[in-house]
Amino acid sequence: MLFRSTLSMIDSVTTPKFTITAAPSAKINHSIVHDVVILMSDEEQKALKEFITSAPENAVFVEYGCGGSTCLFAMHMRPSQHLHSLEHNKDWFLRIREVLSDMTISGDVSLYWKPAAGGKKLGYKIGDQVHTFEDKDFRVYGSPSEELAHGLEDYIHGTDTNIDWAKVHCVLVDGVARGPILAVLRHKLPAGALVLLHDAGPRQGWYSWAVDGLYTVHGLIDNMLVLEVPQK
């Protein structure tokens, strides 16, 4: 099930633990696809494309956190491949849904809006700007507070979706609550499935508890950590 040709792109030495001491310096390429900024380096975008195009004809992908990567999936999937993308933020969910409606998509894309419990919006702060601040569950992008899992159970578990977890080939984790998602995926995914953890390089302390001893670590492609579900 592994896409071995793509794994050869990894420069880091494979280790049994998430103990890479220094993340490579990855220049973020703010490329734009259909008016959506892709916050991935050139190498990360290239790798994601390779994971998609080298996957089996009927591959099933899952994505946590829709955005520019969703557009990349939509552009490069084959007709019989399927992407399930989960998003907790309604405004961003609606934005990506609108963008996809204007794109030519060869495969199937299912978008799921999974808000916080009770339908409340979570409060996020980017710099000095507060976004969707309607309750006191306040979190900050780019800080450990975005890892808080409470209220996001439906998002983390993919509740009430059409995802057949036993058939998933690859998951991109690029949203909030990434550590809890990694812990849950370990028990949902089949052996050999890949998990791509974005922004892993500079945030090792956030995620190591959910990686060490649970996954086979293949290494980093810039700041995207490639993990594999081991035999159970």
Report the alpha-carbon distance of residue 161 to residue 14 in Å, rounded: 34
Q: Which amino acid is at 125?
A: K
The owner of tokens 């649970």 is 214
Q: Which amino acid is at 4?
A: R
The confidence score (pLDDT) of residue 136 equals 45
Asked whether the whole model's pTM tops 0.85, one would answer no
Report the alpha-carbon distance of residue 202 to residue 26 in Å, rounded: 10
Report the alpha-carbon distance of residue 226 to residue 195 in Å, rounded: 6
Q: Confidence class of residue 14 from pLDDT cuts 50, 70 and 90?
A: very low
Q: 64 or 131, which is more confident?
A: 64
Give the DSSP H or E segment for 200: none
The confidence score (pLDDT) of residue 171 equals 98
Per residue, the 3-state secondary structure of 83-145, as one string, reads EEEEECCHHHHHHHHHHHHCCCCCCEEEEEECCCHHHCCCEEEECCEEECCCCCCEEECCCHH
Residues 169-187 have pLDDT tens digits of 999 999 989 999 999 999 9
Domains of the chain: 4-228 (3.40.50.150)
- Residue range 113-124: average pLDDT? 69
Sequence-separated (6 or more) residues with CB below 8 Å from residue 192? 1, 2, 228, 229
